[in-house]
């Protein structure tokens, strides 16, 4: 059996990482952004990762989503080992298994709202008619009916983030990664994002959310405090450390 097809150590985990290390080599001293992270996220779980600026939160999320490569460590996504994937294989995997939303939406500015949402479905091989139907359902659900023909620049920040959410979810990925999704929104937009994340979570969507915002983090059912490249604390919102809940010290086996 190749490493690629070997089963993940915890079969209920939608995401599992072991021994992740990432150092950035830019100008000046190397930045040890992620210094040895073990993490397991159960299917249907909503995990918030908080911590001070520069702690390494975004780097960790980028590693988990294949947007950056770890220097060391292993990642399993929905049962498949992904850390040795090529760029092309990662691109396919992201379309299938991960939705990602960012602070600044990253919509394609010269495509309409409808096309932005349909594009990932079409790229994944979904028939055009089905992609249109998925898009229509999601945009209606997200309160964006009537905006299909708008261009992203014609929408408010909150509306653009809702389009980004629709685009991230159009292929029904097992995992949604969100990096400061309300970071550029006002309080109304923040509440809206929080409500939507909670709603999708309520339907079983697994979510990993990086945020500075304690209000957003409070929508999650587990909060990881990240500090200096490491997990400093990991607890469910009822205050139970995840290691104690699972009966395993260190890391992190979650629910059945
Ligand atoms: N591409 C890069 N090249 C060089 N250094 C980087 C790069 N990306 C991040 N870093 C550095 O790695 C460290 C962790 O950054 P990261 O963005 O992951 O932290 P963060 O916790 O998400 O911070 P913030 O909350 O401010 O976004 C910082 O010291 C940062 O300057």
Atom of ligand 1 nearest to the CA of 55: 21
Residues 23-45 pLDDT 10s? 999 888 999 999 999 999 999 99
Mean pLDDT, all residues of the chain? 87
Atom of ligand 1 nearest to the CA of 212: 25
Q: How confident is the model at residue 237 (pLDDT cuts 50, 70, 90)?
A: confident
Sorted by where each begins, the domain ranges of the chain are 13-246
Half-sphere exposure of residue 231: CA atoms within 13 angstroms, side-chain side? 26
The runs of H, that is alpha helices, within 143-246 are 157-169, 187-202, 214-217, 242-246
Pocket of ligand 1 (CB under 6 A): 24, 26, 31, 33, 51, 53-59
Sheet holding 230-236: strands in order across?
98-101, 175-179, 206-210, 46-50, 222-227, 230-236
Tally the residues of the chain. Answer: 256
Atom of ligand 1 nearest to the CA of 58: 22
Whole-number pLDDT of residue 256 = 30
Q: How confident is the model at residue 250 (pLDDT cuts 50, 70, 90)?
A: very low
Sheet holding 31-42: strands in order across?
31-42, 13-24, 72-77, 80-81
Residues 54-78 pLDDT 10s? 999 999 999 999 999 999 999 999 8
Q: Ligand 1 centroid vs 43 CA: distance in angstroms?
A: 28
Question: What average pLDDT does range 217-227 have in this prediction?
Answer: 92
Tokens of 54: 């520069």
Q: Ligand 1 centroid vs 142 CA: distance in angstroms?
A: 31
* Residue 71 backbone phi and psi in degrees, to 5: -75, -35
The ipTM assigned to this model is: 0.97
CATH class of 13-246: alpha beta
């Amino acid at each position: 059996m190749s490493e690629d097809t070997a089963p993940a150590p915890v079969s209920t985990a939608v995401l599992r990482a072991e021994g992740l290390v990432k150092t950035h080599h830019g100008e000046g001293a190397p930045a040890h952004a992620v210094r040895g992270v073990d993490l397991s996220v159960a299917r249907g779980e909503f995990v918030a990762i908080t911590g001070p600026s520069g702690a390494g939160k975004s780097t960790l999320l980028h590693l988990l989503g294949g947007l950056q490569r770890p220097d060391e460590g292993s990642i399993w996504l929905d049962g498949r080992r992904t850390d040795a994937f090529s760029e092309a294989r990662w691109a396919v995997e992201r379309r299938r298994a991960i939705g990602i939303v960012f602070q600044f939406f990253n919509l394609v500015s010269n495509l309409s709202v409808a096309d932005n949402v349909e594009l990932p479905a079409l790229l994944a091989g979904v028939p055009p008619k089905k992609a249109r139907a998925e898009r229509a359902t999601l945009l209606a659900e997200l309160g964006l009916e009537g905006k299909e023909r708008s261009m992203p620049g014609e929408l408010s920040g909150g509306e653009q983030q809702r389009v980004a959410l629709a685009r991230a979810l159009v292929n029904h990925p097992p995992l949604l990664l969100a990096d400061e999704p309300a970071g550029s929104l006002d309080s109304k937009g923040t509440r809206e994002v929080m409500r939507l994340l909670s709603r999708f979570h309520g339907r079983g969507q697994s979510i990993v959310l990086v945020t500075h915002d304690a209000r957003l983090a409070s929508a999650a059912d587990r909060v990881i405090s990240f500090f200096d490249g490491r997990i400093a604390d990991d607890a469910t919102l009822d205050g139970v450390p995840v290691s104690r809940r699972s009966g395993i010290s260190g890391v992190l086996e979650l629910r059945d």
